Structure 1
Amino acid sequence: MVTKLWCFLTFIFYVVSITVYPNVTLDSTSLKAVNVFFRHGARTPLVVPELKSKFGKIHWSDGPGILTKVGKQKMFELGNVLRRRYKNFLSPYYFPGEIYVSSTPVERTKNSMKSLLAGLYNTQGFKFWSDKIPATLVPIAIDDNVIDKSMIINSQTACPLFKSEQKKAVNTATANDKGFKDVYTYLSLFAGKQISGMYDIFTTWDILECLAHNNRKLPYWASPVYPEKMSQITAKVLRSLIVGTDKMLKIVAGPYINELHKQFTEVAEKNSSQRKFVIHGGHDFSMTANLGGLGTFEKIVNPGDAIIMELHEIPFAGFFVQMLYAEAGGSNISVMKIGNCGQPCSLHSFIEITKDVIPANWVKECTSYL
């Protein structure tokens, strides 16, 4: 009798597993944890062009690399979008036990977080953008190269292994730099410098990007090469500089993936000390690496974009992870597939397919080849 009952229960579990898993519905009622990683809002160019250059009469009053008014507005809107999406999950007022926010030490990133929080905890009912964003009491922790490893991309000393691997990736990309000669020749006429390869276009591309993202007029000569051709080249440049090899991917994306594992596992194990809502403000370099760690490559990360990772619990099925991508301050949110995992992706599968991205010892691996 016991054997028959066990066989029957086993059969029922099998039927449930094959019918429920493909049709799992993930919504606010099944939500258990959220992790948001965003790129700061629109900024001024990192290199400000001359006022009377071939970029036109451009005036950036705030200097290089500064969050603009458009950038603040988009981050405020992203906060509004998160509030609407998680209104039944996140308290309307700041509650220390349920949310944790962090940012890199860079001013544009910290100010982006402040703008987002103003939209997330917009309890005063503002319907429009104002320079006087509502004050918030949410503390912003400074992530000084702990989860966000973006600073090592250009560093010569932070991680010797990364720099060695980066050199290999750049050499490979340069050797395969075919089919863009016409773009380089064309840009050399207008960029104020000789463009002879894909790595020469980044500054020019960045200036055009900043103009576009801040609703500024593009120079007359840009349309034949921007955005399509230049963005295609820049995507390859960024991949080689950031995640050109598996070892580079581990060094830059590993800490973020590890934090996802930790947060979701502790929530699933009902660890009450683990915050259910985490937000981090970072950069395009770190976002690019994190997307690579989650199985997505060669995507240009725009200002105000965000990776949203959700943990859901479905009765009789277990825990599932869903990856969302929010574009341009939350103007569009789409579901993205996590590597080779199914849709939705079980927590167990998520951990299994991403565990190899996590370095056992970050510092040791950075210097292991010396």
Structure 2
Amino acid sequence: MAQMYFLIFLGLVLGVKGTEDKLEAVVVIFRHGDRTPVKPYPNDPYKNKSYWPVGFGQLTNRGKQQHYQLGQWLRSRYDGFIPAAYSENDIYVRSTDVDRTLMSAEANLAGLYPPPPTQTWNKDLKWEPIPIHTIPQKSDALLAMKKPCAKYTMLYKKLFKTEYFRNISHQNHDLYAYLTKNSGELISDISSLQFLHNTLYIETLFNYTLPPWATKVFPSKLQPWANLAFALDTFTPELTRLKTGPLMNHIIVFFKNHTISAPDTHKFLMLSAHDTTIADVLNTLGAFQYHCPPYTSTIIFELRTRLNGQMYINALYKNSSVPRPIKVRNCDVDCDFEDFVENLKPFAMTLDQWEIECRIRWAFVWPLTFQWNIILVCSLITVILLLSAVIVGIKKAKKENDNNYIQLPNEEYA
């Protein structure tokens, strides 16, 4: 008995969490590793490719190493839950169709799955090839979130016409003009500002000296607006649903399959994506504190079962060495699975639902209320009746004129 009490005490002291709970399934979403700028600005002193170790927007060796180490961390956390030997039955990996995310997933898997002797196929190469699935970005509404959605585009444009963002544009008018003049790139909102900020940030990581004009505003004046820019995609509930709805539904269905012990269900789902993906998901969860998610930042969802059979979601955000718990929309840190599903229900939807909701309906676009629609219809009917009366009057007058006309002899030859 004394030994049992000692073990319980030791667990509390060490902060061991959920040691009595069974891990059922895991979803991991991460940002790619270190990369070069996606696109230099026109006046960029480092716009020549010779300044960079790889092409623009590509994963660097440092980025590969970052993800290899993240894969090793995942192995240490889930060793035993994920067998050492790779099996297609255990893990499913999906990436956006971008070089840096595909390569990040590959480097991560190299750290997660160092091949055991039974899977060592080349004694000089400690690496196991593991499939990574993807689809073209323009067709991907789930992970890349790049598939066109007419309603989302309309709502996103409408967002910048709100008083809040009009005030931001007014407040930053001089800053936008300054950045446009010196960078040679049109900076007209916080989204384009963020893109420029990101390029300048990467150049400082590579120890390049920024131009004097840039040091006057970077990072102090640009950082707050660049951080806010990461909330734009999911700034309203409507935007959130259309942006992350299919992904949230995919995650929920993945876990639901485990609650019913569905056959052929993987225990580990790995998603390789971008900083915007991390920000969008965190904002959907109601846990986004405005910032630029750093390289290899990772969101983790763990489905666990307590001894009493109750299932819950343990959500974590790892943007440094230690992951921290996430509270999912009005839920405890360890969120009951049913509550997790219910709290995300307003945002989750299938791809078929997404296709339907992306269509712009006239009823959605039309700005008038029911009463004003009645007034408009009555006005149109009145105008049509008046026009009809005018047309009838003109025709009647023309007919009378024709009847009063008498042709004179040989008039056609006059």
Q: Tell me what 1:151 maps to.
A: 146
After TM superposition, give the deviation of residue 38 of structure 1 in Å. Answer: 1.0
Structure with the higher helix share, 1 or 2? 2
Q: Tell me what 1:321 maps to.
A: 313
Q: Tell me what 1:254 maps to.
A: 245
Supply the AA of the counterpart residue of 1:336. I
Question: Secondary structure of 2:183's partner?
Answer: coil
Q: Tell me what 2:357 maps to.
A: 365
Mapped to 2, the partners of 1:247 and 1:217 lie a distance apart of 41
> Alpha-carbon deviations, 1:60-115, whole Å to 9, x = none?
24222111111111111110110111112111120111111111111111111101
Supply the AA of the counterpart residue of 1:356. P
Identity among equivalent positions (%) equals 28
Higher mean displacement: 249-258 or 24-33:
24-33
Q: Tell me what 1:207 maps to.
A: 199
Please, which of 291, 298, 322 is the counterpart of residue 332 of structure 1? Answer: 322
Please, which of 202, 226, 232 is the counterpart of residue 218 of structure 2? Answer: 226
Mapped to 2, the partners of 1:199 and 1:147 lie a distance apart of 22
Q: Tell me what 1:6 maps to.
A: none
> Closer, same or farther in 2 for the Cα pair 1:96/1:198, shift >3 Å?
closer
Q: Which has the larger radius of gyration?
A: 2
> Alpha-carbon deviations, 1:323-353, whole Å to 9, x = none?
11122xx633211211211121110110010
> Closer, same or farther in 2 for the Cα pair 1:365/1:24, shift >3 Å?
farther
After TM superposition, give the deviation of residue 363 of structure 1 in Å. Answer: 0.4
Mapped to 2, the partners of 1:280 and 1:162 lie a distance apart of 23
Mapped to 1, the partners of 2:302 and 2:272 lie a distance apart of 17
Question: Secondary structure of 2:110's partner?
Answer: helix
Mapped to 2, the partners of 1:52 and 1:162 lie a distance apart of 33
Contact 2:96–2:135 under 8 Å retained in 1: yes
Q: Tell me what 1:342 maps to.
A: 332
> Alpha-carbon deviations, 1:39-77, whole Å to 9, x = none?
111211111357972899981242221111111111111
Mapped to 1, the partners of 2:50 and 2:152 lie a distance apart of 37
2:285 matches 1:269: no
Mapped to 1, the partners of 2:173 and 2:24 lie a distance apart of 51
After TM superposition, give the deviation of residue 185 of structure 1 in Å. Answer: 6.2
Q: Tell me what 1:72 maps to.
A: 64
How large is the RMSD of aligned CA atoms in angstroms? 3.0
- Which segments of 5 or more consecutive residues in structure 1 lack a partner in the other structure? 1-22, 126-131, 153-157
> Closer, same or farther in 2 for the Cα pair 1:277/1:362, shift >3 Å?
same
Mapped to 1, the partners of 2:220 and 2:135 lie a distance apart of 34
Mapped to 1, the partners of 2:49 and 2:258 lie a distance apart of 53
Q: How many residues align?
A: 333
Question: Secondary structure of 2:39's partner?
Answer: coil
Q: Tell me what 1:41 maps to.
A: 33
